[in-house]
Chains A and B, each alone.
Chain A
C-alpha cells in the first residue's frame, strides 16, 4: 500500500532510484553486516547493474554505502575519491548474464583490517527498495524495512528459544523470524519492531554456540 511519501520521494542522490539509491543501500547493509571499518571490498555487479553501472553511478553509490553514506548523501558523488583517501581498496567484477538473479543485483564481500570478512548478495527492486538474498552462503530474504538481527549459530536444539528469550527479555517484539540450515550451521533473520539495545546483542553473542550476530538498521 503506497504512502504519499512513495509518490513524493524518496529524497535521494540521482540519477536512478534502482541503480543509485538502492545500490547505496546495499553497500550500507554490507557495512553493517561487517560491523567494522572495511579495508577492502570485492564487488560483483550482475545483469542490468553491470551494464549501467558507470552511467548511473552504481559504483559510486555502492562504495559510498560501504563507507557509511546514505542514499541522500551528496558525498556519494565523490565516494571513489573518498575511498582512496580513507584507504578502502575496492574492485568491481561485471557479470552481464546471471539469469537466476534479479536484474539489479550485486555480490559484496567486505574485509576489515583484522582479517574478518562478510559476503552478501542483494538486489535493488525499484524505488530504492532492496532485498538481501544471500549472507555467507545462506539463502535469505529480507528488505531492511525494520531493524533486523542476523545470526549464524551452531544448529543445536533450543537455540531459537534462547535467542528469542534474550530478545523478549527487553520487551522487543519479533515481527518476523526466518531460520535456514546448511550442514551444521543455522542462519536466523529476525525482524523486530524497534531498535535493539547493544546488551541484547551482547547476550546473544555470549552464547557459546553463536558465531555471528549483527544488527542491520533500516535506511531511509
Chain B
C-alpha cells in the first residue's frame, strides 16, 4: 500500500469505503506489521504527550537557558486584553506553551518537528475544549493530520534545513487545518482545501532562528501557525475550494524550498538571525562555553 499523493488517499478511501483515519490505520498496519490496537494506542500516547506538554507549558516556570523565552505563554493565556475572543487567545497561548517546553528541554511530541511542535497540540486541545471532541475522535483528527504530513514528507520536506519554516510550521498548520475540518464534519475535498490554504499562507516562510536557538521567532511562528490552521479550516468549511489541488501545492512548496537560499534554512545566517541585535545575542550566549573539566 503506497501513499504518494492525495489522489492515492482518495482512491483508497473510496475502495475501502473508509474515512481518511481508517486509511491511515491500514497504511500503518501494512507498513509496520503492527495491530490496529497498537496503532491506535501509539497515537493515543502521542495525544497524551501533546496534552501534557500544553499543560506543563501553562503551569510550570518555563524560562529558556538563553533567557530569550520567559513564560510568554502564561502571559498570553492570562492577559486581560483579548483581541478577538478568549478561546482564540487560549489557542495561541497553548502553541506558545509547547514551544517554551520544547526550548526548555521538556518533553514534547515532534509533529512534524520539534521546532513546530506547538501547533497540533494547540489545535487538538482547543478542539477538545471548544467543541467537546473526545479522546477517540481527537485520535482520528491526529490521523488525518498524519496523512497531510506524510504527503509533505514524501513530496517536499518538513525539515527547516531543507524547506525553512514553511516546512516546519507551514506543514504543521496544514496538518492542523485538515484535522479541524475533519473533526467538524468536513468532507475530503474540504480537508484537502484546508491543507492547501495553510501551505499557501506559509509559502516561502524562512527559518532564521536568533543565535541558532529554537526560540525566537519559532515561538511566534507556532502561535501564528495555529491561527493559520483555524483560518484555513474556516474558509474550507465554508465551502470555498482550493483552485490548486493539494498535490500540486506540495510540489510548489518543494520548488520554493529548492529556490530558498541556504542562509534562510536553519543556518542562522540570514533574516532575523543576521540582524545586529541577533548577532549581539549570539555573541553573548553561544560563545560563553563551559566545557566541563
User: Interface readout for A46-57 with B: 1 if CB under 8 Å, 0 if not?
Assistant: 000001101111
Q: Given A14-B105, A14-B117, verify A94-B214 contact (CB < 8 Å).
A: no
Q: Which residue of A lies closest to B111 (CB)?
A: A8
Pair B143/A10 contact, Cβ less than 8 Å = no
Taking CB atoms, residues of chain A closer than 8 Å to B214 are: 14-16, 56
Taking CB atoms, residues of chain B closer than 8 Å to A54 are: 65, 285-286, 288-290
Taking CB atoms, residues of chain A closer than 8 Å to B39 are: 4
Pair B109/A10 contact, Cβ less than 8 Å = yes
A17 to B214, CA, bound (A): 11
Pair A11/B49 contact, Cβ less than 8 Å = yes
Interface residues in B108-125 by Cβ distance below 8 A to A read 108-115, 117, 120
Give 23 A-B contacts (CB < 8 Å), ordered by A residue: A3-B32, A4-B143, A7-B112, A7-B146, A8-B46, A8-B109, A8-B111, A9-B111, A12-B107, A13-B107, A14-B101, A14-B108, A14-B117, A15-B103, A16-B214, A17-B114, A51-B286, A54-B285, A55-B211, A56-B214, A74-B107, A89-B292, A91-B293
User: Interface readout for A35-67 with B: 1 if CB under 8 Å, 0 if not?
Assistant: 000000000000000011011110110000000
Taking CB atoms, residues of chain B closer than 8 Å to A6 are: 153
Q: A8-B111, A8-B120, A8-B142 are in contact. List 10 more A-B contacts (CB 8 A).
A: A4-B24, A7-B158, A8-B146, A8-B149, A14-B105, A55-B65, A55-B213, A77-B105, A80-B292, A127-B113
Interface residues in A73-103 by Cβ distance below 8 A to B read 74, 76-77, 80, 89-94
Pair B211/A15 contact, Cβ less than 8 Å = no
Binding site for B on A (CB under 8 A): 1-17, 20-21, 51-52, 54-57, 59-60, 72, 74, 76-77, 80, 89-94, 126-128
Pair A77/B106 contact, Cβ less than 8 Å = yes
Pair A72/B105 contact, Cβ less than 8 Å = no
Pair B115/A15 contact, Cβ less than 8 Å = yes
Taking CB atoms, residues of chain A closer than 8 Å to B104 are: 14, 77
Interface: B195 (CB within 8 A):
no
Interface: B212 (CB within 8 A):
yes
Taking CB atoms, residues of chain A closer than 8 Å to B115 are: 15-16
A12 to B114, CA, bound (A): 8
User: Interface readout for B142-155 with A: 1 if CB under 8 Å, 0 if not?
Assistant: 11011001100110
Pair A2/B154 contact, Cβ less than 8 Å = yes
Tell me the count of chain B residues lying within 8 A, CB to CB, of chain A.
55
Taking CB atoms, residues of chain A closer than 8 Å to B111 are: 7-9
A89 to B153, CA, bound (A): 41
Interface: B81 (CB within 8 A):
no
- A14 → chain B, closest Cβ, in Å? 3
Pair B103/A14 contact, Cβ less than 8 Å = yes
A5 to B111, CA, bound (A): 9
Taking CB atoms, residues of chain A closer than 8 Å to B175 are: 7
Taking CB atoms, residues of chain B closer than 8 Å to A2 are: 150, 153-154
User: Interface readout for B17-43 with A: 1 if CB under 8 Å, 0 if not?
Assistant: 000000010011001100000010011
Pair B106/A11 contact, Cβ less than 8 Å = no
Pair B105/A5 contact, Cβ less than 8 Å = no
A52 to B160, CA, bound (A): 15
Q: Which residue of B lies closest to A93 (CB)?
A: B291
A11 to B215, CA, bound (A): 19
Which of A7, A17, A52, A127 counts the most chain B CB atoms within 10 A?
A7
Pair A15/B114 contact, Cβ less than 8 Å = yes
